[in-house]
Structure 1
Amino acid sequence: MPRSTVARINLDALRQNYRLACDRAGSAQSMAVVKADGYGHGIAQVAKALADDAPRYAVACLEEALAIRSAELRQPVVMLQGVHAGADLDVCRQNGFEPVIHGRHQLEWLGQAEARPPFWLKVNSGMNRLGFRPEELNDVMARLEAMGARSGLLGFMTHFACADDVDSPMTARQTASFEQGTAPWAGLMRSVANSAAHFHPGQSLFDWSRPGIMLYGGSPMVGKTGPELGLKPVMSLEAPLITTRTVRAGESVGYGGGWVADRDTLMGMVAVGYGDGYPRHAGTDTPAAVNGQRIRLIGRVSMDMLAVDLSNAPGAREGDLVELWGPTVGVDEVATCAGTISYELLTGITSRVPREYR
């Protein structure tokens, strides 16, 4: 019989979060970002759950776009990294994928293609990862006209670097740069908004927003948790207690002996570890829960198990399920304790943890 470690996925919560994104997007439409295997939740299941609501999906790369087609979903799929080879443009055309063109090498592939898919242009408004600078757009548009590809251009998009911080002036600078740079082509669609931008008062989201982490209940904002923003947790990571014991005062637990009991302490071992994707750097005092009671981790996370202090849940027994994150313990809380962000935790759950959908 397999262990009962599981990631439970609440698809109703996913849909509620998407609808919140739509509400906050105002007049803009929202393409659901399902890259990185639906942020670790399962790309096919997530995309299917949103099929009645989302008019477009967004992914990073071709293999993710093909996974959506394998799930028999027909909405347009935006490929945020574009194509990685010229031949992939024909695959995009045949399947209704919309690559984002962000570099001159991709422009060359576009010019060489016999038939082209509809596409977007990436504008580098200050993130300085991908895209054409605003002052380069006239030249890019002229090249598209010369190669007969201008009619396939759907619109422009950019990506914010500091939208998670409402006090940063960079989002306003990027918005102004993008708006000014694309102004000569006002008839084309525009997209700027990641999850964080949905929570900026007065921020223009233009025609299409791109909610990602917020769909899965994680916070995109500095200093805020998902529930504080009105988001519902979608994934509950649970694992069983496999033993309990009393650790005597002065004894340690686990590798390195870094945690030492200052009194006799009821301790439990939980069948989950960094081999499952739980963060190794989540140390003592990272929260968890059992039977609705919040408890804490003690000592070092191992590959296959971790230790918890059961002082707040003395009735816990072998076989009881421990919530590592979910409705009682937010994934953002765990991420903070591990020195990371919820994005990494959700996408890092490994394949040996089954997903259970409801």
Structure 2
Amino acid sequence: MTTRLTIDLDALARNYALVRRTAGVEAAPAVKADGYGLGAIAAARRLVAEGATTFYVARLDEGLALRQALGSAPVIQVLDGVTDGVARPLVDAGLTPVVNSLDQAERWLAEGDGSAVTLHVDTGMNRLGVTLAEAAGLRGRLAVAQVMSHLACAAEPDHPMNAAQLAAFRDARSLFPDALASLAASAGTFLGPDYRFDQVRPGITLYGGGPFDAFDPRIAPVATVEAAILQVRHVPAGDAIGYGAAFVAETPMAVAIVAAGYADGVPRSSHPRGAAWFAGKRRRLLGRVSMDMVAVDVTGCADARPGAMMELIGPNLPVDEAAAAAGTTAYELLTRLSGRAERRRLGG
């Protein structure tokens, strides 16, 4: 074993409990993209045990797999909605489509079973969703159990678009006064009670990422990525390390070659700000990340030897900080984790 991903389902449960306490309304987990790279089925089963009754996925296939694993009880909402050819599979599996356009609404009316849907109303993100005028035209025609929208800038609490979208969503909700309403995902949940309505849809915060794209001590780390040292090299001053000679040693150094690279989900862009945790301290990554390896400064560390494991993401190196060092987000970092790492689960 050279690379290991440990998924702490007890930490997932603690994060879910935090979201529920904060929101004070239903918390419906997003388990799309294979549970943000950490295993949708195992995560969903644990979340059901913690009280979750509604889940969100992106694709039909994700919904079908989740339905097979969880049985008929949970509500499973498919964010792609009623794309061409999926109405019958949605009906047969008891999945709820999130209708995103007039074409999808008409398709559901023609090919669906008349069951109620979630209607996505665009409030300013210009990604998916019907306009307010289109939503008004669907009243009395489409059975709408829930109205939803998505915040574009919730990770920036002071961004003026949050208030603008909130106002637009209130207008959308007024069109369907008997329907449930859901606006907030992870970040929106922590913007305050005005954004929570009847249901929140936590995603990244369940899996260990801070709601505002930065480390948050309230959020328990769920994923720990570790990799083994393959070799320790003694590099003289003036020698280069890795592709492109991107790093040149200014003084003699001890360098650990660690068995994880961009094929394992360590972003190539982690150089020059990335780090690993080993023997009680953060240690900088040296040179470009290779496909299967990365170099780490272990100068003066007597514990560095082949087979010793280094932490690349985890409790000592939070996923938000590892992501920021690579110029990305926890969302991308987690969903890019490779399947070739040995996976183990705690708490489930």
TM-score by length of 1: 0.92
- Which residue of the partner structure matches residue 44 of structure 2? 47
- Which residue of the partner structure matches residue 81 of structure 1? 80
- Which residue of the partner structure matches residue 203 of structure 2? 212
Q: Cα deviations across residues 185-221 of structure 1 (Å, max 9, x unaligned)? A: 2211000001001221343311110000000011231
1:134 shift after superposition: 1.5
Distance 1:292 1:48, change over 3 A: farther
Secondary structure in structure 1 of the residue aligned to 2:63: helix
1:114 shift after superposition: 5.6
Distance 2:82 2:301 in 1: 52
- Which residue of the partner structure matches residue 145 of structure 2? 154
What letter is aligned with 1:30? A
1:226 shift after superposition: 3.4
- Is 1:197 matched up with 2:195? no
Distance 2:78 2:300 in 1: 48
Matched-pair contact (CA < 8 Å) for 2:23–2:193: no
- Which residue of the partner structure matches residue 277 of structure 2? 289
Matched-pair contact (CA < 8 Å) for 2:273–2:326: no
- Is 1:175 matched up with 2:173? no
- Which residue of the partner structure matches residue 121 of structure 2? 123
1:113 shift after superposition: 1.8
Secondary structure in structure 2 of the residue aligned to 1:71: helix
1:309 shift after superposition: 0.2
Matched-pair contact (CA < 8 Å) for 1:290–1:320: no
Distance 1:285 1:176, change over 3 A: closer
What letter is aligned with 1:105? D
Distance 1:114 1:335, change over 3 A: closer
1:175 shift after superposition: 0.8
Matched-pair contact (CA < 8 Å) for 1:259–1:299: yes
1:130 shift after superposition: 0.9
- Which residue of the partner structure matches residue 311 of structure 1? 299
1:356 shift after superposition: 1.0
- Which residue of the partner structure matches residue 300 of structure 1? 288
1:285 shift after superposition: 3.8
Distance 2:216 2:312 in 1: 16
- Which residue of the partner structure matches residue 91 of structure 2? 93
Distance 1:284 1:308 in 2: 11
Q: Cα deviations across residues 117-137 of structure 1 (Å, max 9, x unaligned)? A: 431101011011111112222
Distance 1:157 1:65 in 2: 18
- Which residue of the partner structure matches residue 56 of structure 1? 54
Secondary structure in structure 2 of the residue aligned to 1:32: coil
- Which residue of the partner structure matches residue 329 of structure 2? 341
1:301 shift after superposition: 0.2
1:303 shift after superposition: 0.3
Match of 1:225 among 215, 218, 225: 215
Distance 2:300 2:77 in 1: 48
Matched-pair contact (CA < 8 Å) for 1:96–1:117: no
- Which residue of the partner structure matches residue 136 of structure 2? 138
How many residue pairs get aligned? The number is: 344
Matched-pair contact (CA < 8 Å) for 2:12–2:222: yes
Distance 1:25 1:114, change over 3 A: closer
Matched-pair contact (CA < 8 Å) for 2:87–2:112: no
Match of 1:259 among 247, 251, 254: 247
Distance 1:175 1:322, change over 3 A: same
Identity %: 39
Matched-pair contact (CA < 8 Å) for 2:258–2:296: yes
Matched-pair contact (CA < 8 Å) for 1:265–1:310: yes
- Is 1:31 matched up with 2:28? yes
Q: Cα deviations across residues 137-162 of structure 1 (Å, max 9, x unaligned)? A: 221224x2xxxx43xx2110000000
Distance 2:166 2:70 in 1: 36
Distance 2:231 2:194 in 1: 51
Distance 2:293 2:17 in 1: 37
Q: Cα deviations across residues 222-275 of structure 1 (Å, max 9, x unaligned)? A: 5x3133xx0011000111001001111111111111111111111100001011
Secondary structure in structure 2 of the residue aligned to 1:245: strand
Matched-pair contact (CA < 8 Å) for 1:272–1:278: yes
1:312 shift after superposition: 5.9
1:70 shift after superposition: 2.6
Distance 2:273 2:232 in 1: 18
31-40 or 279-288, which deviates more: 279-288
1:176 shift after superposition: 0.8
- Is 1:109 matched up with 2:82? no
34-43 or 276-285, which deviates more: 276-285
Secondary structure in structure 1 of the residue aligned to 2:181: strand
Matched-pair contact (CA < 8 Å) for 1:276–1:304: yes
175-184 or 188-197, which deviates more: 175-184
Matched-pair contact (CA < 8 Å) for 1:135–1:181: no
Distance 1:114 1:71, change over 3 A: closer
1:169 shift after superposition: 1.3
Q: What value does the CA root-mean-square deviation take over the aligned residues? A: 1.5
Q: Which runs of 5+ in 2 are unaligned?
A: none
